[in-house]
Amino acid sequence: MIARSLLLGVAAAALLSTGALASDLYSGPPATSLYSSPMFNFEGAYVGAQGGGYWGTVNGPEVTGWNLDLVAGVNFALTDLFLAGVEFQGGAMWPDGGWKWDMMGLGRVGVQVTDSVMAYGAAGLGSVAGNGVYSFGGGVEVATWQSVSVRGEVLGLANWGQAPSAAKATAGVLFHFN
């Protein structure tokens, strides 16, 4: 009787333990890496290049011509939808009178319109062709793949105390470190 009870107990334990083995058959990636958010992450540091042109005058001299800038900045999430950040743009411009430097420091505030599109406004200070300027405007940034985005931006430029007398329109490619 004891042997029969022992044999039934061992058989029941063997049958019940096979259910636990079924959960161990999955050999794919861990569950934490199965989910990936479809939203592009505009938050964090980024670098890139942009090019375009200037139109108008800054403190008298004509600045109409082409430009090529390097861009570096960082965005911080304010909420799930809103971001704020700072950005530096600096490079060369080629107005009619030969090449000159342009530099701008901008504050940015943006809203994530869709999973992969951010619209933003920007304002800041800088130097264009040796003249101090203030700038304001905005742009749209679109995620393309992984950590790369493309953007278009238009800024109005003016000397302090004056109305805008020039514009800068650019398109660029950015790499996000996130």
Q: Render pLDDT for 102-124 as a digit per residue (tens, 0 to 9).
A: 999 999 999 999 989 999 999 99
Q: Which of 6-20, 65-79, 106-120 has the lowest mean pLDDT?
A: 6-20
Question: How much is the pLDDT for 35?
Answer: 45
Does pLDDT of 97 surpass 60?
yes
Higher pLDDT, 5 or 63: 63
Does residue 144 belong to any structural domain of this protein?
A: yes
Same domain, 27 and 103: no
Same domain, 69 and 156: yes
Does pLDDT of 176 surpass 90?
yes
Mean pLDDT of 8-19: 59
Q: Are 86 and 76 in contact (CB under 8 A)?
A: no
Does residue 155 belong to any structural domain of this protein?
A: yes
pLDDT-based confidence at residue 99 (cuts at 50, 70, 90): confident
User: What does the alpha-carbon distance between residue 135 and residue 146 come to, in Å, rounded to a whole number?
Assistant: 31
Same domain, 115 and 80: yes
User: What does the alpha-carbon distance between residue 158 and residue 12 come to, in Å, rounded to a whole number?
Assistant: 85
pLDDT-based confidence at residue 90 (cuts at 50, 70, 90): very high
Does residue 39 belong to any structural domain of this protein?
A: no
Mean pLDDT computed over every residue of the chain = 84
Does residue 38 belong to any structural domain of this protein?
A: no
Does residue 123 belong to any structural domain of this protein?
A: yes
Residue 159, token pair as written in the block:
């000397």
Question: How much is the pLDDT for 5?
Answer: 57
Phi, psi of 35 (to 5 degrees): -95, 130
Does residue 19 belong to any structural domain of this protein?
A: yes
Residue 145, token pair as written in the block:
């793949």
Question: How much is the pLDDT for 25?
Answer: 60
User: What does the alpha-carbon distance between residue 169 and residue 165 come to, in Å, rounded to a whole number?
Assistant: 14
Does residue 107 belong to any structural domain of this protein?
A: yes
Strand segments, DSSP code E, in the chain are 44-56, 65-77, 82-95, 100-114, 117-128, 131-145, 148-158, 166-176
Q: What is the CATH number of the domain that holds 111?
A: 2.40.160.20
Q: Which of 7-11, 24-28, 104-108 has the highest mean pLDDT?
A: 104-108
Question: How much is the pLDDT for 34?
Answer: 45
Same domain, 120 and 96: yes
Same domain, 153 and 66: yes
Which residues span the domain enclosing 23? 2-33
Same domain, 83 and 102: yes
The DSSP symbol for 3 reads H
Q: How many other C-beta atoms can be found within 10 angstroms of the C-beta atom of residue 81?
A: 11
User: What does the alpha-carbon distance between residue 110 and residue 121 come to, in Å, rounded to a whole number?
Assistant: 6
In a 13 Å sphere around the CA of 154, the CA atoms on its Cβ side amount to: 4
- Tell me how many domains the chain contains: 2
Q: Which of 8-12, 38-42, 143-147 has the highest mean pLDDT?
A: 143-147
The tens digit of pLDDT for each residue in 55-65 reads: 998 877 788 88
Q: Which of 16-30, 94-108, 129-143 has the lowest mean pLDDT?
A: 16-30
Amino acid at 153: E
Burial zone of 64 (CB within 10 Å; 0-12 exposed, 13-18 middle, 19+ buried): middle
User: What does the alpha-carbon distance between residue 155 and residue 162 come to, in Å, rounded to a whole number?
Assistant: 15
Same domain, 48 and 29: no
Same domain, 126 and 163: yes
Does residue 96 belong to any structural domain of this protein?
A: yes
